[in-house]
Amino acid sequence: MLKNDAWITQMARTGMIQPFEPALIRQVEERRVISYGLSSFGYDIRLSPLEFRIFRHIPGTVVDPKNFNPENLESTSLHEDASGQFFILPAHSYGLGVALERLALPDTITALCIGKSTYARIGVIANLTPAEASWRGHLTLEFSNSSSADCRIYANEGVVQLLFLEGEPCKVSYEARQGKYQDQPQQVIVARV
């Protein structure tokens, strides 16, 4: 069953989402922001300003998820103007960021991370990823820019929505099987095998 705002609020009080915004925030002081916080059946998390990395091609190499070369990712600068803080995702590129919020999921809940329409409408696609039962940490977020123009991705503002799905208790949770991405810090974590 998809969980609603009342359930998300109750679970946030036990530490499921930190920090937690109990309403959908659309404006901070005088500045409009891409919404974040609690919605009817989900929670919009923010992009951390601490790190954003973009894939780059190193001639003669192939990106290998079993033997990842960190040189295939380069850090990009955090920019700021009157609209807020942002990273630039070049046209036809792929980047990794990290969620500002830390999650601690119960053992009967899996969260699906889906893109926000504001970004989808400019060609930025958030990769659909799950956070399994009993997963904890800051999600590494994946974005592709399918447009032919460079795009801004705003830090400290909403970038993806989490949908919380409840199931029967699983036999082995992510924590119990010692999942390789458990307790991720607020930094980009690359592919692991």
Per-residue confidence (pLDDT) for residue 189, from 0 to 100 = 84
Asked if residue 95 is part of any domain, the answer here is yes
- Per the structure, how many domains does the chain have? 1
Per-residue confidence (pLDDT) for residue 191, from 0 to 100 = 79
What are the pLDDT tens digits along the chain (193 aa)? 999 999 999 999 999 999 999 999 999 999 999 999 999 999 999 999 999 999 988 888 888 899 888 888 999 999 999 999 999 999 999 999 999 999 999 999 999 999 999 999 999 999 988 999 999 999 999 999 999 999 999 999 999 999 999 999 988 888 888 888 888 889 998 878 7
Q: Residue 53 is part of a domain; what is its CATH number?
A: 2.70.40.10
Asked if residue 178 is part of any domain, the answer here is no
Asked if residue 76 is part of any domain, the answer here is yes
Asked if residue 182 is part of any domain, the answer here is no
Q: Quote the radius of gyration of the chain (alpha carbons, Å).
A: 17
Neighbours of 28 (CB within 10 A): 12
Per-residue confidence (pLDDT) for residue 142, from 0 to 100 = 96
Residue 168 annotated to the active site: no
Provide φ and ψ at 135, rounded to 5°. Answer: -75, 145
What's the whole-model pTM score? 0.93
Per-residue confidence (pLDDT) for residue 1, from 0 to 100 = 93
Residues of the domain holding 123:
5-166
Quote the CA–CA distance of 162 and 42 in Å, as a whole number. Answer: 5
Per-residue confidence (pLDDT) for residue 184, from 0 to 100 = 86
Asked if residue 157 is part of any domain, the answer here is yes
Candidates 142, 157, 168, 175; catalytic one: 142
Neighbouring-strand partners of residue 125: 144
Per-residue confidence (pLDDT) for residue 155, from 0 to 100 = 98
